[in-house]
Structure 1
Amino acid sequence: MYAIETEGLTKIYANKKVVNEINLKVAQGSVFGFLGKNGAGKSTFINMLAGLIQPSSGSFKILGEQTHQRQKMGVLPDYSTFYDDLTAFQHLKYFSRLLNVKLPKSEILNLLQRVELEEAAHVKAKKFSFGMKKKLGIAQALINEPDILFLDEPTSGVDANAVLTIHRLIQDISKEGTTIFLTSHNLDEVEKMCDDIAIMNQGVITAKGSMQQLRAKYQNKLIVFIKHSRLNEKQMSSLRPQLEELANKVEWNQELTTVTVDGEWLIPEINRSFLHANVDVFRIEVDEPSLEEIFIKIGENQRSA
């Protein structure tokens, strides 16, 4: 069963398709990254799934059901608003009542401890830093132990320590079986955290897959660095014809050789060439494109299309 499944999901505002016939499947228990520039349609798409706005056409299922599953969802918006004169503890107690979830004092304190706000449990929200408010927003989203958690920019504007805390929390929640639907402008964060990624542009999904699948699709060449023992003339004469036959480009150095090849299937053959020439190979590294490089390349392809 999929956590999220959409078919032709569309939203039209003023004759403009903000979300244009999206077909998307999100595996249950995965961390799913949802990317796109501002105005790409991401928020509108999420708001339809959360039941905040009605689709113009198309359909979707949440946890296999077509009815809204709000009791099974948790949502962290980009900017959470809190009541200045309520403490962290009072906020969670108040929102648990709104959600009709009975949380004893011990469970509220455990939830605050989980987001590292236990020492601020009885501090009023007006004294919270931006990062503390992010953590409180996550705690609020977890009140009902959701099966799907929507996180919109969970680490934007927070310091490095808070980022690490939030990343650990996301990983822990995912391991417990909760599906994480993550939007972020931090592409390094998405690359690090997500099992699958979708990129949205002008209302349509232009790319989808794991990092491995996206790299396979959008990288033309591989640059391979081979750190090896110092080459002598005999070894060079053995290696040169083999590598130049396998690679598009070879940059020679006595202890580091760089080759550009068409695909990773050639790497074992390159390694065997060094072994055949009696050269000790200490390390092989591959320069793979980052999600940021793939994102830029997709944008360039769209502009030139």
Structure 2
Amino acid sequence: MNAIKTINLTKQYGNRQVVKRIDLTVGEGELYGFLGRNGAGKSTFINMMTGIIHPTEGQVELLGSSNQDEVLSQIGVLPDYSSFYDYLTARQHLSYFSSIIGYKLAKDDVDLALEQVGLLEHANGKVGKFSFGMKKKLGIAQAIVHKPKLLFLDEPTSGIDAESSIQIQRLLQNLNNKGVTIFMTSHNLTEVEKICSTIAIMQNGVIEDEGTLHSLQKKHSSQMEVTMKVSDDATILIHAIEQLIGSIVLEGQKLTFRTDNEQRIGDVVRFLVHNGLTVYHIAINQPSLEDIFLKTHKGEL
């Protein structure tokens, strides 16, 4: 079963289409990263999927159902903005909002969610005195407190410090390892590169690229640059190596070449070892997610 499926999903304001006929499928158990510049349509897209706004055209299926009310209790949402009651404590806030969607949670359940986001020591603190980062953590706790099967997170680590960001990343990975499907937007490309199993890049209301990091790297790089450090100077073998791989650059114990075939890397390693050299280190330089993102948006630069 797919966790998310959109069919021809469109949002139009006046004559302007913000989201343009998107067909998207996210399988159960994915940690799906959704990228795009400000104004690309990311938040509008996620808000249509979660029922915050209605599409102009198209259909959304969540957890196999086109009726969002049927699966509401199995979904957690962190929108691009969160509103809180300043006079409630963090613990009271989670209990109150959980009751609105039909959950009467035990104190231990509430405290577990607060602990997971690093707010347990502030459980009795009034939300009105929380910093922006603390409110972001509370929003994530609100999204996960009822143990949903599907999470929508809009910029879950924006505005929080580096240590808290790492903590949230680990939390998302742990939830995903337990079977929770996560759909998240982020401007933190390193974060997405690190934790997401599938990545999509949105531009001007359409999805320009989608795939695993490896498949995107392969698509956007015709050749890999490979550097090997070997035990001895390989000058004596340079002509034979070039017969295997083509042109190479040799600087003492460092050998560099380019290839579009991973098999050729293994061929070179076997040849070197067969000729008495030890390969200490192999580095394969492929485009980063930042490189791919900028290349996708090159026409806008």
- TM over 0.5, shorter chain: yes
| 2:185 is the alignment partner of 1:183 | yes
3-state SS of paired residue (1:252): strand
Deviations 1:184-226 (A, max 9, x none): 0000100111010111111111111111111111112111111
Deviations 1:148-167 (A, max 9, x none): 11111111121111011101
The code of the aligned residue for 1:236 comes to T
The code of the aligned residue for 1:90 comes to Q
Report if the CA contact (8 A) 1:249-1:261 is conserved: no
Report if the CA contact (8 A) 1:7-1:21 is conserved: yes
| 2:45 is the alignment partner of 1:25 | no
3-state SS of paired residue (1:156): coil
Give the Cα separation in 1 of the matches to 2:288 and 2:10: 31
1:230 Cα deviation (Å)?
2.0
Q: Which residue of 2 aligns with 1:64?
A: 64
- 70-79 or 152-161, which deviates more: 70-79
Q: Which residue of 1 aligns with 2:235?
A: 236
Q: Which residue of 1 aligns with 2:147?
A: 145
Q: Which residue of 1 aligns with 2:292?
A: 294
The code of the aligned residue for 1:167 comes to Q
| 2:253 is the alignment partner of 1:255 | yes
Give the Cα separation in 2 of the matches to 1:111 and 1:272: 51
Give the Cα separation in 2 of the matches to 1:31 and 1:248: 39
Give the Cα separation in 2 of the matches to 1:188 and 1:242: 39
3-state SS of paired residue (1:226): strand
The code of the aligned residue for 1:12 comes to Q
The code of the aligned residue for 1:149 comes to L
3-state SS of paired residue (1:100): coil
Q: Which residue of 2 aligns with 1:42?
A: 42
3-state SS of paired residue (1:131): helix
Q: Which runs of 4+ in 1 moved over 6 A?
A: none
Residue correspondence of structure 1 range 204-243 to structure 2 within 5 A: 204-231=206-233, 235-237=234-236, 239-243=237-241
Give the Cα separation in 2 of the matches to 1:184 and 1:287: 24
1:303 Cα deviation (Å)?
5.4
Deviations 1:106-157 (A, max 9, x none): 2222221222211111111132222222211111112332221111111112
Q: Which residue of 2 aligns with 1:280?
A: 278
Give the Cα separation in 1 of the matches to 2:175 and 2:274: 49
The sequence identity of aligned pairs, in percent, is 47
1:19 Cα deviation (Å)?
1.0
Residue correspondence of structure 1 range 112-151 to structure 2 within 5 A: 112-151=114-153
Report if the CA contact (8 A) 1:247-1:262 is conserved: no
- 180-189 or 43-52, which deviates more: 43-52
Q: Which residue of 2 aligns with 1:15?
A: 15
Q: Which residue of 2 aligns with 1:267?
A: 265
Per the normalisation by structure 2, the TM-score is 0.94
3-state SS of paired residue (1:278): coil
The code of the aligned residue for 1:240 comes to I
Report if the CA contact (8 A) 1:101-1:143 is conserved: no
Report if the CA contact (8 A) 2:47-2:79 is conserved: no
Residue correspondence of structure 1 range 154-165 to structure 2 within 5 A: 154-165=156-167
| 2:200 is the alignment partner of 1:202 | no
Q: How many residues align?
A: 299
Q: Which residue of 1 aligns with 2:176?
A: 174
Give the Cα separation in 2 of the matches to 1:230 and 1:276: 14
Per the normalisation by structure 1, the TM-score is 0.93
Give the Cα separation in 1 of the matches to 2:140 and 2:200: 23
The code of the aligned residue for 2:267 comes to E
1:242 Cα deviation (Å)?
2.8
Report if the CA contact (8 A) 1:89-1:122 is conserved: yes
Unaligned runs of 5+ in 2: none
